[in-house]
Structure 1
Amino acid sequence: MSVEREELAALLRTCGIARDLGQARRHHARILSSSSHRSDRFLLNLAVQMYGRCGDLQSAKEVFNSIAQPNAFSWNIMISACAQNGRAEDAMLAFQKNPHKNQVSWNALITAFAENSNLHAAREIFERIPELRSVLSWNIMISAYARCGQFFQAKDLFDRMEIRDTVSWNIMIQAYSNFGDLSGAEQLFRSMPDRDTGSWNSILTAYAISGHLEKAKQTFDRTPERDLITWNTMIAAFLRYNDMDNAITMFQRMPRLDLVTWNAMVQAFTRNGHLESAKRIFNTMLERDIVSWNLILQLYSQTLKISKTRQWFDSMPEHNTASLTIMLTAYAADGHLRQARNVFDCMPDRRLVTWNAMMAAYVNSKDQASLLDLFLEMPQRDIASWNVALQGFAQARHLEHAFGIFHEMPEWDIVSWTALLGAYALAAMVEEARAVFDQMPEHDTISWSAMVGAYASSGMIAHAKRLHDLMLDRSLASWNAMLAAYAQTGALLESRRFFDSMPELDEISWNSMLAAFVYAGNGGCALEFLQELAVNAVSANGKTFATVLCVCDHIGLLKRGRREFSRMLFDYAIHPNIEHFGSMADILGRSGMLSDAKELVYTMPYQPDIVSWGSLFGTCKIL
């Protein structure tokens, strides 16, 4: 092999590992410009692999198609590229055309479907392997089951294995850990015939996930040979439980740092909303990858205005599917649905998470028609896709669609059941909601809270209270649901007592208590309660202002209403929605300012709905 050929091969491998698409294209162009290299199958195979790892499947396909006589490596690399980019069907097509099928081909195809959580198809392929299955085939399948939470299927395959390697044992330790069976993980670790650093990392992770920080530290200290994963796992354990001091100390003790470590620290600060600290770590990094940039982009999208998020996005040296999906979600969350759709339409490669994000945007904007069109257009779906569609129609009270989607789903999880329960609750079909609740194979605090809310919204306070008292682990959502129940009945004294007894409060709690005054017809006390919000440093949100405007409307406080409407936009940077505009139009109309009310309805950045017109026509009748 010539020196130049060796150099190019090393560069292609490095670009693939670094996922540096810009450099990848430059090195590929260099190959194409050389008459001695442009037809070199070895280099072209590496180029296919590089583009696959960089997320540019289209370029990978183009390079593959340019290979005059693809060999077994070419086909296997192409199948793997499809798998890495979430294109299981493309991987299947490549596999079917492959004249050189071998054990590597079968394993790559299993991986393609397993990585897309299509375990049924992955298992069918696994069972069809014509020759003796390799340990790697078993490990891929067990890992897929474990990753998707199907512990018993993973254990069944593990128990059936005639030959196991250390990786097999490590995967099962992680499976026990994810299943919440720490004693099983410990027993398996003690039973291992041989252990490697991965084994120690697996049991360390098990302790970290289960919250046994002291045992995690002891295991870390006992680990005979630590690698970067060991250190990163221990740092992640501290960060998981917000022990920033120990995490920083461990970070400073590390013999060497890699991008994973740096990104973990950036992520820790972003998760806690500490933008400046996250930026400081980011600026200290000697090298950054797309993950580093995306972490800051994610934090910008959650804490800053969309314009600042867009500025950071535009400053990034490159974008990948995750960057574009974050930007799509940011636009959608800020009410810019058209821009969100433009990002989606311009994406060269859409993954399931992107499709799901766009569907969620339609759910939040209550655009059920576009939601259904996109759902039907999806090339493939996972359970999250089905759940997003189900939740969209449930929230819109389209019971027929919601019920139909639920029964078409290939499998259900607790999110699916809870969404169906919520659909019945919103439609005030409490008996049907209770029937779903009773059929659920398991309950979490969200499903309990949803059922409490179903009783509460139907005025069945005694049932709601009884269910609330039965909950072993009451979440803030369940307390809020119960408070909302008292508030909606106008029971002001009970609402206040319950509010004062709550172990913690959030913006929803304060808004519910504020609403209790409104339901009780006590607008003056509602405005006084606003002072309590300010004293307790509770940040008002759109719901707060909707309630305040409602109070001003009922009491006839024109000046106060105008002031609050203005404060919402200029002091709190909250863009008024159609409900706020409708209330303000009603306030103006009731105060005799009909032309101002009419102008507000005609100039607001929303298509007037029946409520807006109702407010306007209602004031006409009053006047």
Structure 2
Amino acid sequence: MVLSNAVSRKVPTRFLLLPCPFRSFASFTNNFSSVSQVVLEQNPESLNYAFQSKDNGIAFKNQISGDVIATYASLAEECTNITSLNQLNALIHVSGLGQNVSLGTKLVHMYARYSSMDNGRQVFDKMQKRDAFLWNSILRGYAWNGPYEEALSLYSQMQHAGIWADNYTYAFVLKASAGLSSLKVGRKIHCQIIRSGFESHVFVRTSLVDMYSKSSSIDDARQVFDEVPLRNVVSWNAMIAGYSRNGHAKEALALFYQMRWEHVVADSVTMVNVLPACAELRDLKQGKCMHDFVLRNGFDLDPFVGNSLIDMYAKCGSLEIACQLFDKMLWKDVVSWTAMIAGYAQNGCARKALQLFHQMLQENVTPDSIAIASVISACTHLGALEHGKWIHDYISKFFFKLDVFVTNSLIDMYARCGNLEVARQLFNKMPEKDLISWNIMLAGYGLHGLGKQTLELFAQMQDIGVEPNNITFVHILSACSHAGLVSEGWQYYDCMTQIYQIEPNMEHYSCMVDLLGRSGHLDEAERFIETMPVKPDADVWGALLGACRIHKCIELGERAAEHLFILEPTYPGYYVLLSNMYAEVGLWDKVTKVQRMMKEKSLKKTPACSIIVLHGKVHTFYAGDKSHPQFDQIIAAMETLA
């Protein structure tokens, strides 16, 4: 009773554990177990008693009982942070149990739970005897926390030590292989699994499915999945996730319905994997069906499902529903904020993306790289360079390392906003450049008509062995077009098709028409269109019409416009382009005719707008619009400048 009252009043541990009439080891064990909660809350004082007990002559090493080990193991589970775990580790060593394999396994497991693999590895390395449980514990830690290479290295040491792997061992090393996307290593482990007879285990087979799908070998993943004799929901989830992850959205949805047909009960993880497939297909109808399924099964309270729903609706263009779900969330994590910010940015609502980003910071939520990249994209869309610079400064202060994803977004922003010098500096400082990095820099030069710099950068890209793709050549041909490099444009078009065996698409064709048309080779541009192996789209004819306006070639421009009005009869831009071409040569009757056509079709030109970012707030001004709350003050200020 005294002990119970003391604990409830949180009396310091040293008073509970001071010398008492029962100075036996058994009494110490009982006392220590009873006050485990106090020990955890006031850990520093618990160590004092451990040393005091040793000084009073309790023979720890000679009186070790199963109860003591069980007590320590129980305390390990109760540790809520690294500090308490370190102190318990010290207490175990003081009591002479530092080489107990069971406690060592428990400590490694707990250190891994808190992502402290350095401490876990120290415990592992000090153990003179290691059983399969201890090996599995350290392998599991590295498989979940990384570095994955260390898990595979330890697995090799485990084999050399003569410890037989079991189904858990294989699951952990397969997860490490999947983390590295190493198909070669994964196949090797698969062979070892077959030889050791563990291939029939559902746990192992599910891990194989996950490994193959994360290594982009989706056919192998499906083959393993189909051979699983008794598939559980985890197996189905792994295969559905594999399809979603590798861009096979239709197959992911088909497998979900097959899963339902076979009466396998889906869980929240299933929905987290299915909803991205709906998002990839931009299938709002299918997404709403999945949302109904989520509500019927009570998965809507799962934050991961909630985040997936927000992302799905945003990518399907239904921002209103996405915003409603976001506002109703009881607890928003960084993924929730990122999904909403990215949704606004991807749907052209750059101003709302910036506002939400600032709200996120005000609520002390630390953004991740995807949120940062999304808000940088919003700055790029608005041309808000000053705001983008502020975000760049924020990244420099609070992010230890710029990843490729964020750096690419910064390069794109600076390049599109005209600051090519800073864009190139960031590009040059990148320790590792992916193909997207090169393409963004090429696009930046081409956008500003710097054809020479574009071709020089492409030459550097070729020299170091970076393989270009179809997007690379879109940027190169566009740069040649803006710089008037006709012969070079033909040269790189032939290089794309003949050397790199890249089949041209509509973007390449429209770039070539623009290149020929801008330079005055209008007849050649028309012949190019006529010899295309596919039917030209509106972009191709639009490029020709734009060139005809530049060179005042009315007859050819009218032929191009006829095709455009058939392909896209409701797009006002082409009518305006034709009208402007007529106006520039004084054909006012034809200008009136085009305007009449637009009126009959109820087509209106999208008004031009200007954007100003002031004190972190974006202000948009449309031509003829008087809706700004400070419109009168702005007009008055402008009159004072006149």
Classify the TM-score, shorter chain: 0.5 to 0.7
Output the amino acid matched with 2:250.
Answer: N
Q: Match for 2:205 among 197, 200, 203?
A: 200
Q: Match for 2:339 among 326, 337, 341?
A: 326
Shift of the alpha carbon at 1:376? Answer: 1.8
Change (3 A) 1:68 1:312: closer
Partners of 2:544 and 2:233 lie apart in 1 by 50
Residues 37-116 of structure 1: pairs in structure 2 closer than 5 A: 68-69=41-42, 77-78=80-81, 103=108, 107=112
Secondary structure of the structure 2 residue equivalent to 1:220: helix
Q: Which residue of 2 aligns with 1:407?
A: 428
Partners of 1:181 and 1:538 lie apart in 2 by 55
TM-score (norm 1): 0.64
Secondary structure of the structure 1 residue equivalent to 2:414: helix
Partners of 2:433 and 2:81 lie apart in 1 by 33
Partners of 1:75 and 1:538 lie apart in 2 by 69
Q: Which residue of 2 aligns with 1:351?
A: 367
Change (3 A) 1:158 1:551: farther
**Is 1:363 paired with 2:363?**
no
Alignment root-mean-square deviation, CA: 4.9
Partners of 1:506 and 1:203 lie apart in 2 by 45
Q: Which residue of 2 aligns with 1:592?
A: none
Q: In the TM superposition, what whole-angstrom CA distance separates every residue of 1:247-295 from its partner, at most 9, and x where no partner exists?
A: 5334322421112323444433332122122212311332223444444
Q: Which residue of 2 aligns with 1:391?
A: 412
Question: Which stretches in structure 2 are left out of the alignment for 5+ residues?
Answer: 1-6, 12-39, 45-74, 90-106, 128-133, 611-621, 629-642
Q: In the TM superposition, what whole-angstrom CA distance separates every residue of 1:197-228 from its partner, at most 9, and x where no partner exists?
A: 34312433466578877755543332144221
1:344–1:358 contact (8 Å) kept in structure 2: yes
Output the amino acid matched with 2:366.
Answer: R
Residues 89-168 of structure 1: pairs in structure 2 closer than 5 A: 103=108, 107=112, 131=126, 136-137=137-138, 140-141=141-142, 159=156, 165-168=169-172
Secondary structure of the structure 1 residue equivalent to 2:250: coil
Secondary structure of the structure 1 residue equivalent to 2:237: helix
Output the amino acid matched with 1:279.
Answer: K
Shift of the alpha carbon at 1:341? Answer: 2.6
Output the amino acid matched with 2:472.
Answer: S
Q: Which residue of 2 aligns with 1:464?
A: 492
Partners of 1:221 and 1:170 lie apart in 2 by 19
Secondary structure of the structure 2 residue equivalent to 1:255: coil
Q: Which residue of 2 aligns with 1:590?
A: none
Bigger radius of gyration among the two? 2
Shift of the alpha carbon at 1:366? Answer: 2.0
My pick for the range that moved more, 335-344 or 387-396, is 335-344
Q: Which residue of 1 aligns with 2:231?
A: 226
Q: How many residues align?
A: 497
Partners of 2:441 and 2:155 lie apart in 1 by 36
Q: In the TM superposition, what whole-angstrom CA distance separates every residue of 1:364-404 from its partner, at most 9, and x where no partner exists?
A: 22222221221221211322122211221222342321222
2:546–2:577 contact (8 Å) kept in structure 1: yes
Change (3 A) 1:491 1:414: same
Change (3 A) 1:201 1:321: same
My pick for the range that moved more, 128-137 or 160-169, is 128-137
Partners of 1:174 and 1:168 lie apart in 2 by 10
Secondary structure of the structure 2 residue equivalent to 1:223: coil
Q: Which residue of 2 aligns with 1:242?
A: 250
Shift of the alpha carbon at 1:230? Answer: 1.5
Output the amino acid matched with 2:383.
Answer: K
Residues 221-370 of structure 1: pairs in structure 2 closer than 5 A: 221-236=226-241, 240=248, 242-243=250-251, 245=254, 247-285=256-294, 286-287=297-298, 288=300, 289-304=302-317, 309-311=322-324, 313-314=326-327, 319-333=332-346, 336-347=349-360, 348=363, 349-352=365-368, 353-370=370-387
**Is 1:437 paired with 2:437?**
no
Give the fraction of aligned pairs with identical amino acids, expressed as a percent: 17
Change (3 A) 1:362 1:249: same
Output the amino acid matched with 1:450.
Answer: H
Partners of 1:38 and 1:439 lie apart in 2 by 74
Output the amino acid matched with 2:434.
Answer: D
2:541–2:560 contact (8 Å) kept in structure 1: no
Q: Which residue of 2 aligns with 1:617?
A: none
